[in-house]
């Protein structure tokens, strides 16, 4: 968790943990032909298996670009005037 002072207010940067938000989305692209693995939420094993099978079918295709996306949320820290004790996480009144 990272804390910074922005315009004299403290904010916290951390992972997005809202309902339905994956911890990560994984995919891969073959650098030889551009074929792409189907993106998967939270599991990289299916993408790794895809890369191995792709090379098995195309023995000269051995390099891949691995991609992982994560999601962050910035929330007001204690003492930040945007923090509302009764507001849901991330809700900022007047924004």
Boundaries of every domain in the chain: 2-76
Q: Coil, strand, or helix at residue 88? A: coil
- Could you tell me which residue, 2 or 81, shows the higher pLDDT? 81
Q: Residue 69 pLDDT > 50, yes or no?
A: yes
**Banded pLDDT at 85 (limits 50, 70, 90):** low
| Beta-bridge mates of residue 16 | none
Indicate the average pLDDT of the chain: 86
Tell me the pLDDT band of 83, cut-offs 50, 70 and 90: confident
Angle at CA of residue 39, ends 32 and 57, nearest 5°: 40
Q: Which residues contact 53 (CB under 8 A, 6 or more apart)?
A: none
Q: What mean pLDDT do residues 5-30 have?
A: 87
pLDDT digits (tens, 9 = 90+) for 24-57: 999 999 999 999 999 999 999 999 999 999 999 9
Instruction: State both tokens at 61.
Output: 């295709």
Q: How far apart are CA 76 and CA 84, in angstroms?
A: 9
């Amino acid at each position: 968790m990272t804390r910074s002072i922005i315009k004299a207010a403290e904010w916290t940067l951390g992972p997005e943990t809202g309902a339905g938000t994956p911890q990560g989305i994984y995919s891969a692209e073959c650098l030889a032909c551009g074929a792409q693995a189907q993106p998967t939420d939270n599991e990289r094993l299916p993408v790794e298996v895809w890369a191995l099978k792709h090379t098995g079918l195309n023995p000269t295709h051995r390099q891949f670009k691995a991609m992982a996306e994560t999601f962050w949320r910035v929330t007001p820290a204690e003492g930040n005037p945007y923090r509302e004790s009764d507001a849901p996480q991330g809700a900022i009144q007047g924004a």
